[in-house]
Structure 1
């Protein structure tokens, strides 16, 4: 995922190198409802709202019988401006400088289920840094790989231990996947000009969702000029073409789309952008989304907090709507080495857009978004030796499946002796990364192969096949820690045919095409 370094996962990759545009969208008119709408006092008698506070972004989740029109009026009376609305799920995105904006809207219970700020910092670019950089493939290693490539393999495929780990190399001899299937990469943007991505890129299903409004203008989905290579790396793992150039994706015959949700100059993914990403994918006929990030600024969103509760509600509505439209969501478990099934977790990194305040949370109440939402496939990471990657979060009954994410301590032999995952980076190059961010796209690729073989399968059926076909892996005796030392794997539990480290097992691309 994203949020890397220090055990974190921005874009859920451990080593990664990464002015909000508040454009207004047309708010659809909705017929008035006869149901009571709570406090709707006439604007002429209402006190003028305070607008001296910092400008923040909010999501307002409507009650079942409330209308967008009524919600817009309430938002304006409270000193807010509507950015966009999603009638399909009853979510409105708004901006306001009224410090009591959310409180005033929450009081109107006939209109709103929940209202919350999507951030703790004002609407402006926030600079962040991440530990580590992408390791660029050297010319010498590229030449060594090409010399070892067998007939039918891509030039850099010998370096892709990860494909062999899930039998994707064998699957390619049977089926590369269908161009009727598209995987949407909700991330930092995708460089569609890369020679390994251009053949499979779907511009008509790509957009920039930063700020909450989809921008589909040419190239809007590409990474910022000074931005992250994360989304491009993820896209290559999923669907790099088998065209005699570079690497191969897990599903090299399917399409890939880029849905950019990270803000300029940052690696922050806010709720309004992610909701836009899910809704865009749903309306554009995308079959699978890959989500290698967590939604900022909270590593865990606690439903006991009014603001965080609203973020969970908005994201839950968006993912459920997309699922009903036929979209399967795959998400990375995170790079914090946290047990997501534990009784408590120390979260010392939230909020990450201002000053973090350490807190102990219950992961059953405080959720990692979107990976812990119902219906989302949660993925842990493994290395070349098959152990859980030292950084990967885990959890019995939380992790669904595992896949290669790379591990610098689990190093393969020839040709390059690099335990990370090799994939595409902007500018036509290739580089290595490790993280649950890299594990997720392997699962998204296998899901795309399954969808290609079973075009009428629902998201829940695809998820059942992913689990049922996974290669069972028992809890290991040893596991690497963050120093590279082998320690007893006392944190791995097993039950119900699952383990906390691997869920139902490591995904199998070969079974997906048979």
Structure 2
């Protein structure tokens, strides 16, 4: 994961980089890509900070048209209107814009999607990947042994694949080329030798700002040294079995990149995520991977007009995708919180300006998109099959679990690293940990299920994920784990099983 203020890399997931040549020698990272400012300028008087808003209306042509006219009168500029779901993205510098537009007939909710002005610059507070601490001779020996056993060179370091029987599943069915997993994230380096064979450019876009840009390469990371999160996720899902690097859970399916992270700040705002879900739905994506929460609020509360509008807008887009046959899979989060508790303390919101500590109720304040109805919520486990120390949990909140890594659960040699090894921009590989790393394992298994059952609906695929999962049951003496062997707060229905997916 790649960002301390999102699910992407909160302080827990310390990345350990691994840059390797075909002979397993070390190389520096590739040159960084240029950043760019994607926010369109607003044609309104600057009476206050220029903000982005989501305005949610009755989804019909006449109503949307009337509201667009009202937006202009209220000092707003329409950036894009998703008429089919009734979500309009607006820029305005009028501090009274949201209050004014909420009074317009046909507007069901409206609010700012951020607290920092558009074009605000910042830095991603994230550690640089480090080379893995293993002797080169040991790595070469592991690669030679892997090749002799028909495995990828770095597969002996991937404890997570046998943990969900993905290595055995690949021999039965590696996944169908008719199935695409859309990675809603920081972008994907589609030139990586482990990814390029499975990358679908025609199903990829840059949705930053709310408008899909499908120009070639628009979906790549702004800065490969910082925005590596999406590329790492991509490798876990579908790194090809091609004699290079690592293997993915579903090495035969396709992947696409739908970039939603802002340049410089790497934040995931509602208007970008709405665009991503709609784009995925309209471009034949079967599964989306969502290893993030929608910034700037860790939890969006329904009794706050701005946050309620975010829940409404993203929820409409997610439902639209589900209605078009898309299964959305999302990370539970890395704060070690019980999402079923009566009260929680949020100290990190808003994360684009000055955070203010607040007490919230999970019943009315949601982590978006993971707590949206119909979304598969994923917790993380380590090599010992125990819940990762950082993973959020909660009875009735977690659907399934998957390997996300845990530095406190260490595998045997040759790996000797409890985190998840996957692809990085510039042809590299690295270890990372988090529910961000668990989620692509589930997305990969979902893609295998869709490959096996191509006519199944998202609801049926989700049911199969749960029905086939292996539940270890609550650890003895762990009071945070509640429920039964069949369904509990740590694992939901259990740890996903790739082999069962291809044999079902």
Normalising by structure 2, we get a TM-score of 0.91
Q: CA deviation at 1:496?
A: 8.6
- For the 8 Å contact 2:205–2:212, the answer to whether it is kept is yes
Q: CA deviation at 1:2?
A: 5.4
Secondary structure of 2:232 counterpart? helix
- For the 8 Å contact 1:333–1:399, the answer to whether it is kept is yes
Write out per-residue CA displacement over residues 136-178 of structure 1, whole angstroms, 9 at most, x where no aligned residue: 3467254243033142111111111000100001101101000
Q: Does 1:456 align with 2:467?
A: no
Secondary structure of 1:173 counterpart? helix
* Residue among 34, 46, 53 paired with 2:48: 53
Distance in 1 (CA, whole Å) between partners of 2:209 and 2:496 is 35
Distance in 2 (CA, whole Å) between partners of 1:165 and 1:362 is 35
Distance in 2 (CA, whole Å) between partners of 1:9 and 1:119 is 17
Q: CA deviation at 1:103?
A: 0.2
* Residue among 99, 110, 119 paired with 2:114: 119
Deviating beyond 6 angstroms after TM superposition, the runs of 4 or more aligned structure 1 residues are: none
Matches within 5 A, 1:445-484: 445-477=444-476
Write out per-residue CA displacement over residues 397-447 of structure 1, whole angstroms, 9 at most, x where no aligned residue: 000000000001100011020000000000101100000000000000000
Q: CA deviation at 1:64?
A: 4.9
- For the 8 Å contact 1:23–1:213, the answer to whether it is kept is no
* Residue among 63, 69, 77 paired with 2:65: 69
Distance in 1 (CA, whole Å) between partners of 2:123 and 2:363 is 29
Q: CA deviation at 1:9?
A: 2.4
* Partner residue, 2:88: 92
Q: CA deviation at 1:495?
A: 4.3
Distance in 2 (CA, whole Å) between partners of 1:410 and 1:380 is 16
Q: CA deviation at 1:128?
A: 3.7
Where structure 1 has 5 or more consecutive residues not aligned to the other structure, the ranges are 26-48, 478-487
Matches within 5 A, 1:78-477: 78-108=74-104, 110-137=105-132, 140=136, 142-149=139-146, 150-225=148-223, 227-477=226-476
* Residue among 480, 483, 492 paired with 1:503: 492
Secondary structure of 1:210 counterpart? coil
The count of aligned residue pairs is 478
* Partner residue, 1:41: none
Matches within 5 A, 1:24-43: none
- For the 8 Å contact 1:11–1:293, the answer to whether it is kept is no
* Partner residue, 1:4: 4
Q: CA deviation at 1:472?
A: 1.5
Distance in 2 (CA, whole Å) between partners of 1:147 and 1:204 is 37
Secondary structure of 1:130 counterpart? coil
Write out per-residue CA displacement over residues 82-140 of structure 1, whole angstroms, 9 at most, x where no aligned residue: 000101100000000000000000112x2200000000010024424435443434672
Distance in 2 (CA, whole Å) between partners of 1:346 and 1:68 is 38
Write out per-residue CA displacement over residues 272-323 of structure 1, whole angstroms, 9 at most, x where no aligned residue: 0000110000000000000000000000000100000000000000000000
Classify 1:275/1:2 alpha carbon distance in 2 versus 1 (closer, same or farther; 3 Å).
Answer: farther
Write out per-residue CA displacement over residues 435-474 of structure 1, whole angstroms, 9 at most, x where no aligned residue: 0000000000000000000000100000000000000220
Classify 1:471/1:496 alpha carbon distance in 2 versus 1 (closer, same or farther; 3 Å).
Answer: closer
Q: CA deviation at 1:51?
A: 4.2
- For the 8 Å contact 2:2–2:126, the answer to whether it is kept is no
Write out per-residue CA displacement over residues 343-402 of structure 1, whole angstroms, 9 at most, x where no aligned residue: 011000000000001000001110001000000000000000111001000011000000
- For the 8 Å contact 2:8–2:229, the answer to whether it is kept is no
Secondary structure of 2:494 counterpart? coil
Q: CA deviation at 1:324?
A: 0.3
Distance in 2 (CA, whole Å) between partners of 1:497 and 1:463 is 16
- For the 8 Å contact 1:449–1:512, the answer to whether it is kept is yes
Classify 1:16/1:123 alpha carbon distance in 2 versus 1 (closer, same or farther; 3 Å).
Answer: farther
Secondary structure of 2:209 counterpart? helix
Normalising by structure 1, we get a TM-score of 0.90
Secondary structure of 1:445 counterpart? helix
Tell which deviates more after alignment, 214-223 or 67-76. Answer: 67-76
Write out per-residue CA displacement over residues 24-79 of structure 1, whole angstroms, 9 at most, x where no aligned residue: 89xxxxxxxxxxxxxxxxxxxxxxx9741000000000025552211110100000
- For the 8 Å contact 1:469–1:511, the answer to whether it is kept is yes
Distance in 2 (CA, whole Å) between partners of 1:248 and 1:325 is 30
Secondary structure of 2:171 counterpart? coil
Distance in 1 (CA, whole Å) between partners of 2:189 and 2:425 is 6
